[in-house]
Amino acid sequence: MVMAGGRGTRMRASKIDTPKPLVRVADTSVLAHNVAALLHHGVRDLHVSTSDPQVTAEAQGACTTQAVAAGGTLTVHVEHSPLGNMGAAGLLHGRCDALMVVFADNLTALDLGAMLRHHAATRPAATLATHVHRVPVPYGALEVTAGQVQRYTEKPRLPVVVSSGVYVWGPAALAWLAGHAPAGASAVVSEMLEAGQRVEAFAHDAPWIDINDATAIDRAEALLEAHPAAFTWTSP
């Protein structure tokens, strides 16, 4: 399922009125990029969730044609009331044993097929793609032991493990989502952990970007140009 229902507040703030899923990177909408990535990695039963009429038209038109040409299907789910960034996944409870969810405003060369195989082999409640993001600290960072400064590093970039915005939900997570819309991804994971369920981390170092404003569009195009072998599914 491609989540394409975000309001795009930051994108509009940067003077772009196009809905985020329809923003074009290398002459292709990011929605179509994500559909192509899923098809490339063997996913054939595709779903798009959105509340925007323009996105609905693109999904039912060009993206459906794209899926059918690859031997797949694409179903559009229109959110008549906001379901949160993950609530729409609950619509597929009982229809699959595992549901991969990606966000339309992300682009990544992550091996989605490998992630699905890992989830199938380990059978957790959920699997989250993760990568290391380096957060800049605007101050001099100190390492102190027993009152003694051991190291002084000026404005370091500290590694933090973050979610890559790609998920695989198992039956327990889908059942929870079916009864808790609207819902966000963090709420599902927290509930699974509180219930004693296992949540797997699928670590990767593949190229990845979150496209939230005008400057990110340029960075996304530069990312595709810098890693043509990684984004093979973008080729005609």
CA dist 131 and 169 (Å) reads 18
Token pair 């990535």 is at which residue? 37
For residue 32, what is the enclosing H or E element?
A: helix 30-40
pLDDT tens, residue by residue, 18-44: 899 999 999 999 999 999 999 999 999
Compute the average pLDDT of residues 107-123.
98
More confident residue, 169 or 213: 169
Average the pLDDT over 194-199 and give the result: 98
Give the bridge partners for 231, in sequence order: none
Q: What is the reported pLDDT for 71? A: 97
Q: How confident is the model at residue 122 (pLDDT cuts 50, 70, 90)?
A: very high
Query: What stretches of the chain adopt beta strand conformation (E)?
Result: 2-3, 24-25, 28-29, 45-50, 73-78, 99-103, 106-108, 126-136, 140-145, 148-154, 157-169, 199-203, 208-210
Whether 234 has a pLDDT exceeding 80, the answer reads no
In 51-98 the beta strands, taken as DSSP E runs, fall at 73-78
- Better pLDDT: 9 or 37: 37
- Are the beta carbons of 182 and 83 closer than 8 angstroms? yes
Q: What's the CATH number of domain 2-234, 3.40.50.2300, 3.90.550.10, 1.10.390.10, 3.40.50.620?
A: 3.90.550.10
pLDDT value for 233? 84
Q: First vs last Cα of the chain: how many Å apart? A: 23
pLDDT for 96 beyond 70:
yes
Give the 3-state secondary structure of residue 16. Answer: coil
Give residue limits of the domains in the chain.
2-234
Distance of CA 96 to the CA centre of its chain: 19
User: Are the beta carbons of 30 and 48 closer than 8 angstroms?
Assistant: no
Among 52, 9, 6, 55, CA closest to 29: 55
Closest of 214, 121, 115, 117 to residue 165, by C-alpha: 115
> How many Cβ atoms from other residues are within 10 Å of residue 191's Cβ?
17
What does pLDDT average to over the chain?
94
pLDDT band at 15 (very low <50, low <70, confident <90, very high): low
Query: Nearest Cα to 43, choosing from 102, 108, 90, 83?
Result: 102
Quick check: 236 pLDDT over 90? no
Nearest to 98 by CA among 227, 202, 222, 218: 202
